[in-house]
Amino acid sequence: MAIALRKPQEIEKLRTANKIVSGALKLLEQNTKVGISLKELDAMAEDYIRSHGAKPSFKGLYGFPNAVCTSLNRVIIHGIPSDYKLQEGDVIGYDIGTEIDGYFGDAAITVPVGKITQKDEELIACAKDTLYYAIDNIKVGMRFKELSLLMEQFIIERGFVPLHNFCGHGIGRKPHEEPEIPNYLDGKNPKAGPKIKNGMVFCLEPMICQKETESVILENGWDVVSSDGLRGSHYEHTVAVVNGRAEILSQS
């Protein structure tokens, strides 16, 4: 399947969807406090998204029940909001998708609840720094596998490992499109596979584990953890390749 090349007006529609994602994530970050429940945070974000004329695109996607993935502590991605109330020292990841006028947005952050350990601070920083490092190094003509290797090397240099079996992805008229973009080199040859071109729009989302790369899906069928059982982190932006460089769409 070919990777779509978006026209400037399409990129603007994707920017609109992604700015709503960015605003919702900022709202959640501001309200990440001891005592608030994951379901309250989910409802807050859904209200924000709908009040801006968009739909929460994750709600019902593949059967997901909520607007926001709330990934708590050892849950790295796809956490289902519950009645759990945040406690001092927790680490919480928010992943949000939107749809407006047939175009999609997607981004994620991981934030601390009050004071967290230095190890958890390093874990969150690894996901965020990997994301921005990758975005800064995107160039037309490089292969997606080269980008995956770049992220893997950065994560390992920080003393962590990337989660396997889940990946970044294309985005546009659907929430998930070609290509798949793992945070590690899949295979042995980074010079294989499709090249990055102007007009491509995709999501990069480093998912960080502490020791083991193997992913495990918990009994609810959604929560994804590392086989090491330790805390993880996750960051994501939607980017468009414009004039040879990556431009972040999912920021205000």
Backbone angles phi, psi at 189, to 5 degrees: -115, 105
Amino acid at 69: C
Write out pLDDT tens, residues 67-117: 999 999 999 999 999 999 999 999 999 999 999 999 999 999 999 999 999
Would the pTM count as exceeding 0.85?
A: yes
Which residue segments constitute the domains of the chain, with CATH numbers given? Answer: 8-248 (3.90.230.10)
Closest CA to 200 of 150, 146, 138: 138
Kindly state the tokens that stand for 223.
């929560």
Q: How do residues 108-157 score in pLDDT, each as one tens digit?
A: 999 999 999 999 999 999 999 999 999 999 999 999 999 999 999 999 99
Residues in the chain: 252
